[in-house]
Amino acid sequence: MRAVTAEEMAEMDRTAIEDVGIPGVVLMENAGRGATEIMWRYYPGLDGKRVVVLAGGGNNGGDGFVIARHLWQQDVEVAVCCLKTFESYRGDAKINLEIIQKLGLFVEEFTDSSRLAALRRRAEDADLLVDAIFGTGLNAQVRGFFREVIDLVNSFRKPVLAVDLPSGLNASSGLPLGTCIQASVTATFGLPKVGQLVTPGCSYVGHLEVVDIGLPRDLFETEDPPRIWLEASDLAPLVHPRPCASHKGTFGHVLVVGGSVGKTGAGAMAGLGAARAGAGLVTLAVPASLHGFMEMKLTEVMTEPLPETAEQTVATTALPRLTALLADKQALALGPGLSVQEETTQVVLRLLEDCPCPILLDADALNGLAGHLEVLGRAKAPIILTPHPGEMGRLLGCSGAEVQNQRLAAVQSFSREYAVTVVLKGARSLISSPKGRLGINSSGNPGLASGGTGDVLSGLIAGFLAQGLSPFDAACLGVYCHGKAADRLAVRWGDRGMLATDLLEEIPVVLNALAEQGS
């Protein structure tokens, strides 16, 4: 599903109203009615309950008036608290305010801090609050009376339905603007907003529901949307039927280069991840002294011993053998458990320049790349980087916390500047292409906060690369399947104690479900 910024959504609304001729009051009616339907779906026992609508001064407040009218018509006790004077409302919001006033709904003004105590008394008796204070156009810090109101609402710890998005949230960045409503459910209009999907914004949204408000489909449907909220319907077309005459050479050969003393498991899990993605052949190349252990551990994955340093890491003398191995490979996964030994880092940098097939860099390959980003410009093949926030911070020369505070900006600016595809891992992982396309992952849970899960992901993406998917598509499919496998496990076991290797058996189930949906 396409995701939009606040500016893109505003332009779609403007086009629908001014160019297509759909009256704004019709869109407002559709929005309010759809939000009310969602309210009933999540809170079916509204009969006999009390709902308080907190209405701001713009169209978001107008949406709240429509919701109040529909609730009133359905015999729900509803009160409307206007946070602006009645005279200040304009346009479609004014029309809907006048309608509920004529119908006799309880509507009262609460416009400054002197009325905060009265607002508290009104709202604390409610069973459900409707946040219709600010819409997607908010782009300044929330201060004064409105900040007091939002903090008051959060202090009640009552169910809150947010209209379009939680008030105080930046719809494009996902950052709270000083303070933000903590919603239970958000009924957003037209399309999901980027800020609702990424962290930290998603933690304020609660359950997100998208309301069709009647915008013409050709306003937002496009073959290659710039931002995608990754769902099964988006990824099913990437999982193609397998011809009856297929053989192991049909689906590509992945070379995984990784492993060092104490970290052999990382390379093994990456190799198994590539195999579970459906790659026809997988070879794991490790330092020679570790090779015997990998031969005993792995059966479906082939192994290759490499010349090593005194520290039992891959040596520069391994480069001729790696060059020969890469001659017939369709993807290289470089880095799981590799180490950051100085000579091994030189191997990483040389392979980046000379590798003839698409490359995925993870873990120690990323750490070795830090400080040598210029090599990315000399690469012959497409590159995917899969950093967690700490690794991204090392690449950018900042802290992981700084990356987390600006996840969108960090991943998109880096992928554009260095012409690489970047997967910024974490809750709601982000995938950014060199041309600016953005994927926001919808799958996954805290069970993935376990050592080795990133190595499985690296193998998955490399496996999809070897089967011919573009770097962006391979990364999106890998991240989604990885998270979906964890979601399947969480249904059975919960999200505690999940191991990286547990994911492997779920991957084919996820892929087959996507294949059936796409057929």
pLDDT, tens digit, 9 for 90 and up, residues 99-125: 999 999 999 999 999 999 999 999 998
H helical segments located in 355-451: 364-369, 389-396, 400-405, 407-418
Average pLDDT, the chain: 96
Q: Note whether residue 274 is domain-resident.
A: yes
Q: Are residues 150 and 252 in the same domain?
A: no
pLDDT score for 6: 94
CA distances to 61, 203, 317, 318, 387 from 346, rounded to whole Å, are: 60, 41, 11, 11, 19
CB 136: neighbour CB atoms within 10 A?
Answer: 27
Are residues 79 and 132 in contact, defined by beta-carbon separation less than 8 angstroms? no
Which two tokens mark 74? 């359905």
Which two tokens mark 392? 């991204």
Q: Are residues 422 and 341 in the same domain?
A: yes
Backbone angles phi, psi at 148, to 5 degrees: -60, -40
* 2: confidence class by pLDDT, cuts 50, 70, 90: very high
CA distances to 303, 306, 384 from 257, rounded to whole Å, are: 10, 9, 15
Q: Note whether residue 233 is domain-resident.
A: no
N-term to C-term CA, the chain: 19
pLDDT, tens digit, 9 for 90 and up, residues 355-384: 999 999 999 999 999 999 999 999 999 999
Q: Are residues 353 and 431 in the same domain?
A: yes
Tokens 């551990």, residue located: 297
pLDDT, tens digit, 9 for 90 and up, residues 400-455: 999 999 999 999 999 999 999 999 999 999 999 999 999 999 999 999 999 999 99
- Strands across the sheet containing 359-361: 227-230, 438-441, 430-432, 421-424, 383-385, 359-361, 331-334, 253-257, 281-287, 302-306
pLDDT, tens digit, 9 for 90 and up, residues 268-288: 999 999 999 999 999 999 999
Q: Are residues 137 and 265 in the same domain?
A: no
Quote the number of domains for the chain.
2
Q: Note whether residue 262 is domain-resident.
A: yes
Q: Are residues 38 and 82 in the same domain?
A: yes
How far apart CA 182 and CA 167 sit, in angstroms, is 9
Which two tokens mark 281? 């052949």
Backbone angles phi, psi at 463, to 5 degrees: -65, -40
pLDDT score for 192: 97
pLDDT score for 218: 87
> Residue 17 maps to which CATH number?
3.40.50.10260
Q: Is the pLDDT of residue 240 over 80?
A: yes
For the entire predicted model, the pTM comes to 0.93
Domain final residue pick, 187, 222, 257: 222
How far apart CA 464 and CA 473 sit, in angstroms, is 8
Q: Is the pLDDT of residue 47 over 90?
A: no
Q: Are residues 264 and 216 in the same domain?
A: no
Domain final residue pick, 166, 189, 222: 222
> Residue 461 maps to which CATH number?
3.40.1190.20
pLDDT score for 222: 80
Q: Are residues 259 and 127 in the same domain?
A: no
Structural domain range at position 254: 247-518
Q: Is the pLDDT of residue 475 over 80?
A: yes
Q: Are residues 366 and 284 in the same domain?
A: yes
Q: Note whether residue 228 is domain-resident.
A: no
Q: Note whether residue 229 is domain-resident.
A: no
pLDDT, tens digit, 9 for 90 and up, residues 420-429: 999 999 999 9
Strands (E), 346-388: 359-361, 383-385
Domain final residue pick, 222, 237, 266: 222
Are residues 95 and 63 in contact, defined by beta-carbon separation less than 8 angstroms? no
Question: What mean pLDDT do residues 22-46 have?
Answer: 96
Q: Is the pLDDT of residue 219 over 90?
A: no
Q: Are residues 363 and 268 in the same domain?
A: yes
Task: Provide the percentage of residues in the chain whose pLDDT is more than 70.
Answer: 100
Which two tokens mark 408? 């969108």
DSSP 338: -
Determine the residue type at 448: L
CA dihedral 325, 454, 427, 365 (to 10 degrees): -60
pLDDT, tens digit, 9 for 90 and up, residues 68-108: 999 999 999 999 999 999 999 999 999 999 999 999 999 99
Which two tokens mark 439? 């994927």
pLDDT score for 450: 94
pLDDT, tens digit, 9 for 90 and up, residues 160-188: 999 999 999 999 999 999 999 999 999 99
Tokens 């980046």, residue located: 352
The string of DSSP codes covering 38-84 is HHHHH-TT-TT-EEEEEE-SSHHHHHHHHHHHHHHHTT-EEEEEESS
Q: Note whether residue 235 is domain-resident.
A: no
Q: Note whether residue 232 is domain-resident.
A: no
Q: Are residues 368 and 481 in the same domain?
A: yes
Q: Are residues 278 and 388 in the same domain?
A: yes
pLDDT, tens digit, 9 for 90 and up, residues 309-343: 999 999 999 999 999 999 999 999 999 999 999 99
How far apart CA 31 and CA 407 sit, in angstroms, is 30
Q: Note whether residue 367 is domain-resident.
A: yes
Q: Are residues 273 and 126 in the same domain?
A: no
